[in-house]
Structure 1
Amino acid sequence: MNTRIALVLGATGGIGGEVASRLAAGGWQVRALHRAPGQAGRDGRFQWIKGDAMVAADVAKAAEGAALIVHAVNPPGYRDWDKLVLPMLDNTIAAAEANGARIVLPGTVYNYGPDAFPVITEAAPQNALTRKGKIRVEMERRLKAAALRGKARVLIVRAGDFFGPGAANNWFSQGLVKAGSRPRSLSYPGRRGVGHQWAYLPDMAEAMVRLAEHADLDDFAAFNFGGHWDGDGTAMTQAIRHALDEPFLPVKGMPWWLMRLASPFVPFLREVMEMRYLWKVPVRLDNAKLVATLGAEPHTSLDEAVWATLVGVGCLGSEEAPSGAGRARLSKA
């Protein structure tokens, strides 16, 4: 086995793409599995391989000799989670066991119910109340069972809501702003005074790779990523205003009532409604274990991270930067 070969499932997605980029920058030979590599394989740093994460033989072949398998693939738009998520993971587990590889999974807070709130440690009980949360719990159960069998190792890094330059399917680019155009107003899903946790994907990817390369990692290792804690639900919208240099840009509440009415007819909205509870109460992942292991968590300032994200999702030109105080904030990042 070549200890510097990594297979990434989901390399065209937000976190998968960031982890693949970070691995390649660190000298790893990165393979990226994709059903249409001719369309996706524009990044010459990766070896693009034609295949489907739902086909066990495709994953097994692509993983031959790999030391890492990054499982960052999800059904688009939350569709068919109950039919697709676990079979894809089983294929990854089988490939990892055949190669003695470590599986790297980006985790979420979906696993947890109110009994674990408001501050969640790695040892918190996973009593999920939602359908997607229960699937996430089962994913981690299967991964832990694989590690206990002794043929594969596992690293899980759990985080809050994703945002970043290459991330399109998330609350930031589909809720707060609309990707592709300069915002005339912002929509915020939560209430003022309720804290919320955000994960800037380049920082999270850096942490995941550094953990994966850590010499003393357990066979089954789980960590919480701290990211950015918005203590009262206003820091993120203020950072967007700063980046746009529009301090009085209107901030509107999310039209949950309208989304509820439409959810029986729009599958994506139905899935989004299931996650509304995470915006009603403060939910924070405690990253003390990660900090103790790495010494510090990779961290980009919120102003800089938001500016890069707005540029990346097409809400702001790369030549645009805040003037005055906003520019000063970025220069200190």
Structure 2
Amino acid sequence: MSHGTPPTQIALVLGLTGAIGGAIAAALARRGFSIRALTRRPAAHRPRFSFAVDWRDGDALDAASVLAAADGVSLIVHGVNPPGYARWREDALPMLANTIAAAKAVDATILFPGNVYVYSTASPAVVSETTPRRPTTRKGRVRLEMEEMLEQAARDHGVRVIAVRAGDFFGPGVGNSWFAQALAKGGMTAKSLQRLAPDGVGHAWAYVPDLAETFARLLDKRADLPVYTMLNFAGHYDASGHDMTDAVRRVIGRRDLPVKPFPWIILWLAAPFVRFMREAIEMRWLWKKSLALDNSKLVRLLGAETQTPIDEAVRAALRFAS
């Protein structure tokens, strides 16, 4: 179904094999976009999708590869992140710089999934698009630089940007997540669940298909949007600290399923030896402080935020928990 979008439009998706890149690509394909992807994977190891993919060999870290892949596209989805939760400054900034340069060269709109790393323990419990961004973590400072790079590209060069800030990802294809690897490890066969936040500490979750559909709906309205658009996506907010584990219990059908505190000590013990653990510890503040996203600006634009009922979203997410 085209939804009024000419089928000849091409979207270059950087990070197609990642959860958010794949979900946004699917939402765009439903609207008639042709999907192109840049990958380092050999042909035999490229996953299959429900839509056709024009694969191009290359690396998001290589400016020439990105520019060549962007030839003729009207949209670039920047859904790529440094692998292994590491090398944020070394890799994330150059990759985004390549996306911006390509978008400028071919006059393409950039779709950019933002996150809450740009905030800190000093931030208010509810953040809007105008809340000051004062990150105190290394990854947070990198994410702030990325947002500032996009703001500058829009301001100085007219590069169109649609950015949406959201909480922790969960859902289909999101295997490397706090939901799949900690809260509901084991998925539908979990013997117990792990509570990441204390009771009363709220946490923002983003069901990836809903976030992807939001990007696509905003794209439908891009002619009415400013050159740089940053919006908050509220997602599923766990206000009590146990709304998500309660939903998992309901979906599995075991309201007596034990819920244990997450053993943060394991991360501390492994941190000297495993970089991923060190990187994860840095973001623990998000589980010690309530942080909700005010989506009123998004709702004014779209009428309502796309939101799959929590039990339906959890059921889909549990299939990818391991």
TM-score scaled by length of structure 1: 0.91
3-state SS, counterpart of residue 241 of structure 1: helix
Q: Please list every run of at least 4 consecutive aligned residues from structure 1 whose deviation after the TM superposition is greater than 3 angstroms.
A: none
1:93 aligned onto 2:103: no
* Counterpart Cα distance in 1 of 2:245 and 2:174: 18
Is the Cα–Cα contact under 8 Å of residues 7 and 34 in structure 2 kept in the other structure? Answer: no
Deviations 1:209-239 (A, max 9, x none): 1112212011000000011111101110011
* Counterpart Cα distance in 2 of 1:116 and 1:150: 31
**Counterparts of residues 1-333 of structure 1 (less than 5 Å):** 4-36=9-41, 38=43, 39-43=45-49, 44-178=51-185, 182-214=189-221, 215-311=223-319, 313=320
- Equivalent position of 2:3 in the other structure: none
* Counterpart Cα distance in 1 of 2:16 and 2:187: 21
3-state SS, counterpart of residue 199 of structure 1: strand
* Counterpart Cα distance in 2 of 1:203 and 1:246: 26
* Counterpart Cα distance in 2 of 1:120 and 1:290: 13
141-150 or 131-140, larger mean C-alpha shift: 141-150
User: How big is the alpha-carbon RMSD for the aligned residues of Structure 1 and Structure 2?
Assistant: 1.6
Q: CA deviation at 1:179?
A: 5.3
* Counterpart Cα distance in 2 of 1:58 and 1:107: 24
Taking only the aligned residue pairs, the percentage that are identical comes to 51
Give the partner amino acid of 2:286. Answer: L
5+ residue gaps, structure 1: 316-333
TM-score scaled by length of structure 2: 0.94
Q: CA deviation at 1:150?
A: 2.7
Q: CA deviation at 1:198?
A: 0.6
Q: CA deviation at 1:65?
A: 1.5
Deviations 1:32-60 (A, max 9, x none): 11111511242242212111101111100
Counting matched residue pairs gives: 314
Q: CA deviation at 1:276?
A: 0.4
* Counterpart Cα distance in 1 of 2:190 and 2:305: 31
Is the Cα–Cα contact under 8 Å of residues 31 and 46 in structure 1 kept in the other structure? Answer: yes
